[in-house]
């Protein structure tokens, strides 16, 4: 014989009840069927009780809602000519319920007996109505009131099941039963005086387990609205998947830590008889579900079976020198909590015995502190022990697996994956069985932590990067295009999944919660009504608190550059092509580096020098490997190289610069490039990355622009000045040709000093044949004294700059 238990969602409406009927009709052998109240009815009853107890009469609205929900099922499944009896039963019970609530409302007081009787109506009503439904669908069934079978008694002040008497009652009843289906209401029981009692949270599952144990059922099937127990909560982890197989103890650990598909008491009667449990989905009965029995199985090499958590936990810490080596201290500590019926979720104590730390439910934290302080009042008064300290807003996460003790590295993997995402662990506990590793973390990190752990233990080691992108002009739009194009390649070859969560330009922004469809970002941004706001953009990224979050700056904005510190301070990496931050005052540059190291938040700016060329990375690798920089010579402006390569007889300097701007080689303000300030910033960044502590003002800038051009206020006046001083530029060209040389704007770093300016480069020099907008850099080091290490290639343009930013993002993903 089997026992089937159907939860509240399985009998909540006509669709789900139709599925239940099909499941019952397929049963070849006799079955016991345990049913819960309709979904939400028990909570509604408790809310009505609370309203009545507080003197409010709004509970009467709940009566109407309960009647409506049950009438919907009656009218759907019972022919109209046969409805009168069950409707009369419904109205009779609802009148009783209302009378009881009226009495509580009058007295403004409810007893435990009232609580039990009120909360029992959900199962009483659902079981009687379902029996009528079974009858009119030709199911050979009988309804048996569980209160006649399951008996409770008071033990240590708590209502508990009298297992011996209950099992005897159940066996005797089923021995004489001849019906194919025995239908029983879950959750409810009665005491020796035949007064209604209840079995508490998860009581219907417990009812089914007690019955299954008593009749030695071949299996207990628990039918719910999900296809088994999952590797993590599906609402927190989108990639969570059903677990095919668990041991009793694995299921007990997961259920204790909040996996609500099954409750710990359910397993106790089942373990003794070694009865398998199957968790099935009423709405998808063909799904395998989860099998729970006593045989451990490792699926696909997965040692960890699931990740679960308890919300709203508080840490309580008691410490002091007076605890060290004192016999009975822990006994007194836990006795104080036990006397107040305060449940301890987790315990940890250092081997020094200087402190004891426990986790309790947050609503019990103040009471726990009070009893602990009272118990150790003398020790506190003489300063041997400090008063208990409470830390709220915590979450307890458990990683569970029967075979974890037989495999090395589980704990290391847990700690390293959380550490890589800057998630601080406040307390740790692990039993000798190593079936469960429990940690307590800050509540704000719960989603990030569970997703991180799930990614580490269950997913195909695909690392997820979450981008918050500001600046979607030439460079930014190319970056998004490249990310979209490479999505599948990155997943298949680098095991990286890049998700763009939010984007912003100077006017509008989109603040998403999930990955954006990059084929539609332009139209979505155009339609957005959200005005660009740097504070809101940051707060959104901070609030989401996604693992591997990266702020991507594709602008040249000083305002945006000032945002980096707060992103890095909140464990959000920064990738930027914006040179302003790294070329800012030295103290600010060093501060960003310090914050990045402190919080493990990557701060990458490879594209600050040479666009997509690996210049900063090469420099860093030289230094990290012990080499020493002697001299750097470089053409670092693709814009200026383009200008001087195209400036020749028959072309005006003005026209060449205008063309460079149109092709995207210059900054939006081309004066930044032509004034030499952009190149000065680049050599400054290289100087700082090589270890020098210098300011921008210390770099010698030999400008070739007339003073009037440098002092212009906008692009129009700047271009007009280039026309005005065309003779000046023609003379520069003439001088170069006389020398048989080409003009190159060169940056140089040597002996701790840096300078930028035009140099006349003759044939044979590495710079002479530098074409188009290419950059070139020569590293002279202790290892490369005679022949420098050369990096050369395209150093400007939206495509290559975007690819450099993309490379930095990928570099973070591969860390």
Is the Cβ–Cβ distance between 571 and 538 less than 8 Å? no
Only one residue has tokens 């006017």, namely 507
Only one residue has tokens 């009467």, namely 60
Is the Cβ–Cβ distance between 579 and 607 less than 8 Å? no
Task: Output the DSSP codes for 666-719.
Answer: S-SSTHHHHTSHHHHHHHHHHHHHTT----GGGSEEE--S-HHHHT-SSHHHHH
Burial class of residue 613 (count of CB atoms within 10 Å of its CB; 0-12, 13-18, 19+): buried
CA nearest neighbour of 106 among 47, 46, 48, 56: 56
Fill in the DSSP letter of residue 466: E
Helix and strand tally (H, E) in the chain?
30, 30
Is the Cβ–Cβ distance between 647 and 653 less than 8 Å? yes
Q: How far is CA 203 from CA 185, 189, 254, 264, in A?
A: 10, 10, 18, 10
Contacts for 459 with CB less than 8 Å, ≥ 6 apart: 239
Q: Is 682 a catalytic residue?
A: yes
Give the chain's radius of gyration (CA, Å): 36
Only one residue has tokens 């509240």, namely 8
Q: How far apart are CA 415 and CA 143, in angstroms?
A: 53
Task: Output the DSSP codes for 162-181.
Answer: -HHHHHHHHHHHHHH---SE
Query: Which secondary-structure segment (H or E) carries 23?
Result: helix 14-25
Q: Which is catalytic among the residues 682, 693, 785, 814? A: 682
Q: How far apart are CA 160 and CA 151, in angstroms?
A: 9
Residue spans of alpha helices (H) in 558-706: 558-561, 564-569, 586-599, 615-624, 638-646, 653-662, 671-674, 677-689
CB atoms within 10 A of CB 383: 10
End-to-end CA distance of the chain: 56
Only one residue has tokens 């690819």, namely 803
Show the CA angle centred on residue 757, arms to residues 756 and 763, nearest 5°: 115
Burial class of residue 433 (count of CB atoms within 10 Å of its CB; 0-12, 13-18, 19+): exposed
Q: Where are the beta strands (DSSP E) in 446-525?
A: 463-470, 496-504, 509-511
User: 400 by DSSP, 3-state: which?
Assistant: strand
In sequence order, the β-bridge partners of residue 758 are 745
Q: Report residue 376: phi and psi, to 5°.
A: -110, 30
Q: How far apart are CA 639 and CA 655, in angstroms?
A: 14
Contacts for 236 with CB less than 8 Å, ≥ 6 apart: 446, 447, 450, 451
Q: Report residue 136: phi and psi, to 5°.
A: -85, 5
Taking the CA atoms of residue 714, residue 717, residue 718 and residue 719 in that order, the dihedral angle to the nearest 10 degrees is 130
Q: Which two tokens stand for residue 232?
A: 């993590």
Is the Cβ–Cβ distance between 214 and 208 less than 8 Å? no
Compute the Cα dihedral for 639, 645, 646, 648 and give only its sign: positive
Q: Report residue 539: phi and psi, to 5°.
A: -60, -35
Q: Which residues are catalytic?
A: 682
């Amino acid at each position: 014989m089997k026992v089937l238990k159907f939860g509240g969602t399985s009998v909540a409406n006509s669709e789900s009840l139709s599925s239940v009927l099909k499941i019952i009709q397929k049963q070849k052998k006799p079955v016991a069927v345990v049913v819960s109240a309709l979904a939400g009815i028990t909570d509604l009853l408790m809310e009505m009780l609370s309203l009545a107890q507080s003197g409010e009469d709004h509970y009467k609205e709940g009566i109407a809602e309960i009647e409506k929900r049950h009438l919907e099922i009656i009218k759907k499944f019972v022919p109209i000519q046969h409805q009168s009896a069950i409707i009369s039963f419904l109205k009779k019970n609802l009148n009783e319920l209302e009378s009881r609530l009226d009495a509580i409302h009058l007295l403004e007081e409810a007893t435990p007996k009232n609580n039990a009787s009120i909360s029992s109506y959900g199962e009483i009503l659902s079981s009687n109505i379902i029996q009528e439904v079974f009858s009119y669908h030709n199911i050979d069934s009988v309804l048996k009131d569980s209160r006649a079978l399951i008996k409770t008694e008071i033990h240590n002040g708590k209502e508990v099941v009298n297992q011996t008497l209950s099992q005897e009652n159940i066996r005797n009843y089923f021995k004489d039963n001849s019906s194919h289906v025995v239908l029983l209401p879950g959750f409810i029981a009665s005491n020796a005086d035949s007064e209604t009692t209840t079995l508490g949270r998860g009581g219907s599952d417990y009812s089914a387990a007690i019955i299954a144990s008593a009749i030695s059922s071949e299996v207990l099937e628990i039918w719910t609205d999900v296809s088994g127990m999952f590797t993590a909560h599906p609402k927190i982890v989108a990639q969570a998947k059903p677990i095919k197989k668990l041991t009793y103890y694995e299921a007990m650990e997961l259920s204790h830590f909040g996996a609500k598909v099954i409750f710990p008491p359910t397993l106790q009667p089942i373990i003794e008889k070694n009865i398998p449990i199957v968790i099935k989905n009423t709405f998808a009965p063909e799904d395998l579900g989860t099998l729970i029995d006593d045989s451990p199985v490792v699926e696909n090499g997965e040692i960890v079976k699931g990740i679960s958590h308890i919300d709203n936990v508080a840490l309580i810490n008691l410490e002091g020198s007076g605890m060290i080596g004192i016999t009975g201290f822990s006994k007194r500590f836990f006795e104080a909590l036990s006397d107040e019926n305060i449940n301890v979720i987790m315990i940890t104590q250092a081997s020094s015995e200087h402190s004891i730390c426990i986790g309790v439910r947050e609503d019990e934290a103040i009471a726990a502190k009070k009893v602990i302080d009272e118990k150790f009042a003398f020790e506190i008064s003489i300063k041997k022990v400090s008063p208990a300290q409470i830390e709220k807003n915590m979450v307890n996460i458990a990683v569970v697996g029967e075979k974890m003790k037989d495999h090395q590295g589980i704990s290391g993997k847990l700690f390293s994956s959380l550490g890589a995402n800057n998630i601080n662990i406040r307390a740790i506990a692990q039993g000798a069985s190593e079936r469960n590793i429990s940690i307590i973390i800050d509540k704000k990190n719960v989603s990030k932590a569970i997703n991180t752990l799930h990614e580490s233990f269950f997913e195909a080691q695909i690392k997820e990067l979450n981008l918050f992108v500001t600046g979607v002009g030439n460079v930014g739009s190319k970056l998004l295009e490249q990310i979209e194009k490479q999505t599948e390649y990155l997943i298949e070859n680098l095991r990286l999944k890049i998700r763009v969560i939010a984007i912003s330009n100077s006017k509008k922004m989109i603040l998403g919660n999930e990955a954006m469809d990059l084929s539609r970002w332009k139209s979505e941004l155009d339609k957005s009504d959200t005005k660009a706001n740097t504070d809101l953009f940051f707060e959104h990224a901070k609030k989401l608190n996604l693992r591997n979050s990266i702020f991507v700056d594709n602008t040249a904005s000083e305002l945006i550059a000032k945002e980096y510190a707060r992103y890095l301070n909140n464990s959000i990496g920064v990738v930027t092509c914006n040179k302003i931050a790294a070329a800012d005052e030295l103290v600010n540059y060093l501060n960003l580096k310090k914050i990045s190291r402190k919080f493990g938040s990557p701060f990458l700016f490879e594209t600050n020098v040479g666009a997509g060329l690996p210049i900063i990375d090469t420099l860093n690798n030289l230094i990290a490997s012990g080499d020493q920089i002697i001299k750097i010579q470089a053409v670092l402006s693709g814009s200026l190289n383009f200008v001087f390569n195209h400036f020749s007889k028959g072309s005006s300097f003005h026209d060449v610069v205008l063309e460079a701007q149109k092709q995207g080689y210059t900054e939006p303000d081309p004066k930044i490039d032509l004034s030499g300030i952009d190149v000065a910033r680049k050599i400054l960044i290289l100087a700082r990355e090589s270890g020098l502590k210098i300011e921008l003002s210390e770099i010698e800038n030999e400008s070739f622009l007339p003073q009037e051009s440098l002092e212009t206020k906008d692009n129009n006046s700047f271009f007009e000045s280039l026309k005005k001083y065309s003779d000046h530029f023609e003379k520069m060209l003439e001088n170069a040709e006389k020398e048989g040389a080409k003009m190159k704007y060169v940056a140089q770093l040597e002996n701790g000093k840096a300078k930028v300016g035009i140099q006349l480069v003759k044939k044979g020099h590495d710079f002479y044949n530098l074409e188009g907008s290419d950059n070139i850099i020569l590293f002279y080091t202790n290892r490369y004294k005679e022949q420098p290490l050369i990096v050369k290639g395209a150093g400007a343009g939206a495509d290559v700059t975007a690819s450099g930013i993309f490379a930095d993002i990928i570099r973070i993903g591969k860390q």
